[in-house]
Structure 1
Amino acid sequence: MTAAPSWGAVALCTVFVVLAVGLAHARRLALTRELLWAAARAALQLAAVGAVLGAVFSVAGVPGSLAWVGAMVVLAGQVAGYRGRGLHRARLLATVAIAVGSTATLGLLLAIGVIEPVPQAVVPLGGMIVSGSMQAATLSLRQVRTAIDEARPAIEARLCLGLSARQAFAPHTRSAARTALIPAIDATKVVGLISLPGAMTGLILAGVAPLTAVRYQIIVMYMLLGTNTIAAVLTTYLAQFTAFDAAHRLRPTQAPEE
C-alpha cells in the first residue's frame, strides 16, 4: 500500500495553484480571484467534510448518508443554476434535473445490489453521481442560453409560422443536450488509454489489485454516463418550457454578472 501523503506534502502542492494563478494573470483571463477562492474553498471544505464524514459513518448510518447526498444535490443545483444565470428559473431547473438524475442512478445501484447500503459506499458514489449530474446540467443551461441569444430570430420565425414553443425550440434543446454530453462520452471512450480515472487510481494507490480496481471503475463510468444523460436531457427538456412565457413568447435573457 502506498503511504498516505503528509500535510506538508499537501502544502507543497500549492505550487500548482500559484502556477495556475500566475498563468491566468499573465494572460489577463480575469480569473485570479476565482482561482484563489476556489483553491481556498476546496481545502477548507474538504477538511471540514473529512471531519464530519467520520461522524456520519459511525453515528448517522444510511439515513444520515442519504441526507448528506440530498444536501449535495441542493448545493449542486445552486452552482449549476448560477452558471446558467440569465435564464428563467435556472436554479430550479438545475436542482430538479440533478435530483432526478442522482436519485435514479443511486437508487438503481442500491436496488440491484451493485453497491451495499452502507455510508462508506453511499456517500462517495453519491458525490460522484451528483457531481456528474451538476456538470451536465451546467453545460446544458449554458448551451440553452447561447441558443436563445444567438438563434432568437430563427426561433421567433418558427413561432410566427405557427409552431408551438416546444416545436420551435426543439432543435436547440437537442443540440444543447448533445453538446453537454460530449465530455462524458469522450471520457468513457478513452478511459484507461489516456488516463487512469480517480476511482481506479485511488484503489490502486490503496493497494487493490488492478483488475479489481477496473471493475469498480467500469461501474463508475457507466453510472456517470447514465446520470449525465438523465441530467442533460431533463435540463434541456424543462428549459424549453421556462424559456417561454404563457403566450409562447421567448423570454429575454438577462446579462450575467461576471
Structure 2
Amino acid sequence: MNPAVPTWAGVAASAALVLLAVAVAWHGRLHLARDIAVAATRAGVQLAAVGAVLLLVFQHTGLVGASGWLALMVLVAGQVAARRARGLPRALPIATAAIAAGAAATLGALLALGVIAAQARVVIPVGGMVVSGAMQATALVLVRLRDEARTARPAIEARLSLGLPATDAFAPYLRTTLRTALIPAVDSTKTVGLISLPGAMTGLILAGVDPFTAIRYQIVVMYMLLAAAALASLTAGRLAERALFDDAHRLRPLTTEPRRERA
C-alpha cells in the first residue's frame, strides 16, 4: 500500500474537518451548517460513484467508454454554463458548442502529437481538466456578453444607427469580454508554482513520481488549459454575438431577467 494514499479510515477521519467547518458556521450563525454538511456528503457519494464507474470504464470499455464519458462531461458543462447566462438567446447550444470546440481541439492536438497516451485512464482525467477550464471561460464570456447587451444597449443601438454593422457595433464589448474571461487562465499560468502547486503536479508527487517528471506533466496541463480557455472563449463570443443580433443587424430584446445566483 502506498503510504502517501489515505486509507478509507483516513478518509473517514478527515470528516472531522467537515465537522469543524459545520461547527464554525453554526457558531457564527451563518446559516450554512446544513449546506456544508450536504455538500460534503454529496461530494463523498458522487466521488465514490464516479470511482466505481471509472473502474468499469478502465477495465472494460477503453477509449470508446472514455469518449462517451467526455461527451457526457461536455453536455453537463454546457448546461452549467448556460444556466449562468440565463436571458441570452440560445445560451445552451452556444455554451455546449464552445466547450466542445475548446476541449476537442485541445485534446485532439495532444493525442495527435503523442503528448498524452491514448488510454482511458489518461484521456478521462486530462479531458476533465480541459472541459472544466473551457466551461469556466465560456460561462464568463456568456455572462459578461449578456450583461453588456443589457447595460450598453443604448450605446450599441446608437452605433448601429450610424450605419455600423452588428460586428463593428459590438466589437469593443466583445474584446473587453474576451480579455476579462481569459484573465483567470492567464494569471494562473503566470503564477503556477509560485503561489501553489497545482493538482496534477501534487498528485504525481504524492504518488512517488520524480518532481521533474511531475513538472513536465504540469506544464502540459497549464498550456492545454490556457489553450482550451482561449478557444472556448473565442467560440462562445462569436456564437453569442450572432445570437444577439438578427439578420437585419438589430439587437435582439433580452426579455428574461437573469436569476440571481446563490453565493
* Residue equivalent to 1:3: 5
* Residue equivalent to 1:158: 159
**CA deviation vs aligned residue, 1:178-208 (integer Å, no higher than 9, x gap):** 1010000000000000000000111111111
SS at match of 2:249: coil
* Residue equivalent to 1:80: 81
Counterpart AA for 2:77: A
Question: Which ranges of 4 or more aligned residues in structure 1 deviate by more than 3 Å?
Answer: 19-26, 31-41
Matched-pair contact (CA < 8 Å) for 2:22–2:33? no
Counterpart AA for 1:44: V
Residues 159/16 of structure 1: CA separation in 2 closer, same or farther (3 Å cut): farther
Matched-pair contact (CA < 8 Å) for 2:82–2:95? yes
After TM superposition, give the deviation of residue 247 of structure 1 in Å.
2.9
Matched-pair contact (CA < 8 Å) for 1:21–1:36? no
Aligned mates of 1:16, 1:90 — CA distance in 2: 40
Give unpaired runs (5+ residues) of structure 2: none
Matched-pair contact (CA < 8 Å) for 2:116–2:122? yes
Counterpart AA for 2:257: A
Counterpart AA for 2:123: V
Aligned mates of 2:131, 2:111 — CA distance in 1: 15
* Residue equivalent to 2:253: 252
After TM superposition, give the deviation of residue 164 of structure 1 in Å.
1.1
Aligned mates of 1:114, 1:236 — CA distance in 2: 29
* Residue equivalent to 2:243: 242
Aligned mates of 1:21, 1:232 — CA distance in 2: 37
Pairing partner for 2:18 from 14, 20, 23? 14
User: How many equivalent pairs are there?
Assistant: 255
Matched-pair contact (CA < 8 Å) for 2:18–2:37? no
Residues 247/146 of structure 1: CA separation in 2 closer, same or farther (3 Å cut): same
Aligned mates of 2:158, 2:170 — CA distance in 1: 11
Residues 221/165 of structure 1: CA separation in 2 closer, same or farther (3 Å cut): same
TM-score normalised according to structure 1 size: 0.91
* Residue equivalent to 1:54: 55
Aligned mates of 2:187, 2:23 — CA distance in 1: 27
Residues 64/243 of structure 1: CA separation in 2 closer, same or farther (3 Å cut): same
After TM superposition, give the deviation of residue 39 of structure 1 in Å.
4.2
* Residue equivalent to 1:205: 206
| Counterpart mapping for 1:198-237 below 5 A | 198-237=199-238
After TM superposition, give the deviation of residue 91 of structure 1 in Å.
1.1
After TM superposition, give the deviation of residue 252 of structure 1 in Å.
2.5
SS at match of 2:208: coil
The more displaced of 11-20 and 178-187 is: 11-20
Aligned mates of 2:244, 2:228 — CA distance in 1: 24
Aligned mates of 2:259, 2:182 — CA distance in 1: 26
After TM superposition, give the deviation of residue 22 of structure 1 in Å.
5.7
Matched residues, percent identical? 54
Residues 78/15 of structure 1: CA separation in 2 closer, same or farther (3 Å cut): same
Give unpaired runs (5+ residues) of structure 1: none
After TM superposition, give the deviation of residue 17 of structure 1 in Å.
5.2
TM-score normalised according to structure 2 size: 0.90
Residues 214/139 of structure 1: CA separation in 2 closer, same or farther (3 Å cut): same
**CA deviation vs aligned residue, 1:97-149 (integer Å, no higher than 9, x gap):** 00011000001110000011111100000000000000000111111112112
Aligned mates of 1:183, 1:23 — CA distance in 2: 34
* Residue equivalent to 1:193: 194
Counterpart AA for 1:194: I
Aligned mates of 1:221, 1:23 — CA distance in 2: 40
Aligned mates of 1:88, 1:22 — CA distance in 2: 41
SS at match of 1:102: helix
Aligned mates of 2:162, 2:205 — CA distance in 1: 59
Matched-pair contact (CA < 8 Å) for 1:155–1:168? yes
SS at match of 1:13: helix
